[in-house]
């Protein structure tokens, strides 16, 4: 079968020429024959082998050895320390603007609530702008804040196989805009938004912008400082490989920290948490974004991945990501499009994150059967198979194995 043979050979050639190919061996399960294709790293990244040692050593020597003393000996500083590492190597943020805490949902609430309070202008700015195709959490949180604060939601429609473009934002913002909430990379289509252009548009209208980087942090470079972003948040269990339920991270530009009004006032966001004061006095700087006790174990796994990304370099990670998705699109055209599948992601690699979505009426059933075979893509309503290609842990051969299995599941008959 010429098509499968050619694509298989093409995958081998790309793997042989891949300067980051050796990093795949650093991940647990990369050679597991029972899982021939793991294409869901954009939902849960593979664990690093180094993390076994990291967590084991922590349990033995720190948690088990130092016990409660560990908080005073460094654990309390980890959210800011790892936040700075993330800012330096992944987010393009100077020190003192990123912190690891909570979940993405909680951080989106904190940042958005603080933003609309800061720019209210006596209630004149009373609109939150967001898109209908954003991840449900983002939409639900903003709906809740609008109800809580008496604000109006102004919805922007996104292209089905793309996302929100600057012209759509320009048509939606105005003198009533308090906050715009968008995703850097769209969770369904993989579309990469023009963050600097949209951020500038929002600022010109007098509002602020909150970017969700859940599907970009660790796979698509960000320059939050250079782009003049106000706020950003994202999870750490996708391309940052922090593990199930690992904590999220927040970015608050230094210029906004002094008037950041914390809506969830926990003791570790106070200036003197161990003073046990009667009244809440916020900490200075990024620490005021914190509420409660930091989740240490997930942060340590995340730190291991940040170290690996720093070794590879985000530019190289992005280049590998674009090559992987380009190969996936090439394979789609040859073996999936003839079966009636539709590419629901941008064709321009510069406009794609590290996943593509393939629509087909049989996607739900096919995905369930593939999981039983150890081929693991993702399913997203209404009828999409999402292929998440994590640059440092996914090979081209693995990508082809997954797509070939999808084709077989959709009833492919490849003719010579």
- Active site positions, annotated: 135, 212, 237-238, 386
- Give the DSSP letter of residue 273: G
* SS3 sequence of 41-61: CCCCCCCEHHHHHHHHHHHHH
Could you give the CA distance from residue 371 to residue 80 in angstroms, rounded to a whole number?
38
Residues linked to residue 385 through DSSP beta bridges, in sequence order:
358, 379
**Residue 411 neighbours by CB under 8 Å, 6+ apart:** 339, 362
Q: What Rg, from alpha-carbon coordinates, does the chain have?
A: 22
CB atoms within 10 A of CB 124: 11
CB atoms within 10 A of CB 317: 24
Among residues 297, 272, 257, the alpha carbon closest in space to that of 110 is found at 257
Could you give the CA distance from residue 295 to residue 76 in angstroms, rounded to a whole number?
10
* Element spanning 154, H or E: strand 152-156
- Give the DSSP letter of residue 246: -
- Give the DSSP letter of residue 89: I
C-beta separation of 172 from 154 below 8 A: yes
CB burial of residue 19 (10 Å; 0-12, 13-18, 19+)? exposed
C-beta separation of 72 from 102 below 8 A: no
């Amino acid at each position: 079968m010429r098509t499968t043979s050619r694509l298989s050979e093409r995958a081998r050639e790309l793997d042989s020429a891949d300067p980051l190919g050796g990093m795949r061996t650093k991940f647990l399960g990369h050679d597991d024959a029972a899982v021939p294709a793991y294409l869901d790293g954009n939902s849960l990244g593979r664990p690093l082998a180094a993390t076994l040692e990291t967590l084991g050593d922590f349990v033995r020597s720190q948690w088990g050895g130092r016990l409660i003393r560990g908080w005073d000996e460094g654990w309390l500083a980890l959210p800011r320390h790892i936040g700075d590492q993330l800012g330096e190597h992944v987010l393009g943020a100077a020190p003192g603007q990123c912190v690891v805490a909570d979940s993405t949902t909680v951080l989106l609430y904190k940042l958005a609530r603080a933003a609309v309070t800061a720019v209210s202008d006596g209630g004149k700015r009373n609109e939150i702008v967001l898109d209908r195709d954003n991840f449900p959490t983002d939409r639900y949180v903003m709906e809740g804040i609008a109800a809580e604060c008496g604000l109006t939601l102004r919805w922007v429609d996104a292209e089905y196989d793309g996302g929100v473009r600057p012209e759509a934002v320009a048509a939606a913002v105005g003198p009533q805009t308090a906050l715009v909430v968008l995703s850097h990379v769209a969770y369904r289509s993989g579309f990469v938004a023009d963050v600097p252009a949209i951020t500038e548009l929002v600022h010109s209208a007098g509002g602020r912008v909150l970017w969700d980087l859940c599907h970009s942090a660790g796979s698509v470079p960000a320059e939050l400082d250079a782009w003049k972003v106000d706020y950003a948040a994202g999870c750490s269990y996708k391309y940052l490989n922090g593990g199930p339920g690992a904590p999220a991270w927040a970015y608050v530009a230094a210029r906004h920290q002094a008037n950041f009004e914390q809506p969830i006032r926990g003791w570790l966001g106070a200036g003197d948490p161990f003073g046990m004061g009667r009244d809440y006095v916020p900490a200075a700087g990024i620490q005021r974004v914190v509420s409660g006790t930091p989740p240490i174990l997930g942060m340590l796994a995340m730190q291991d991945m940040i170290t690996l990304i720093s070794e590879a370099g985000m530019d190289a990670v992005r280049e590998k990501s674009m090559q992987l998705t380009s190969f996936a699109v090439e394979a789609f055209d040859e073996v999936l499009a003839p079966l009636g599948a539709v590419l629901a992601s941008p064709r321009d690699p510069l406009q794609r994150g590290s996943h593509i979505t393939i629509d087909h009426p049989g996607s739900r059933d096919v995905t369930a059967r593939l999981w039983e075979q150890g081929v693991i893509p993702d399913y997203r309503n209404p009828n999409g198979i999402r292929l998440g290609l994590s640059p440092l842990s996914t090979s081209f051969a693995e990508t082809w194995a997954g797509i070939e299995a999808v084709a077989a599941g959709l009833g492919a008959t490849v003719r010579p």
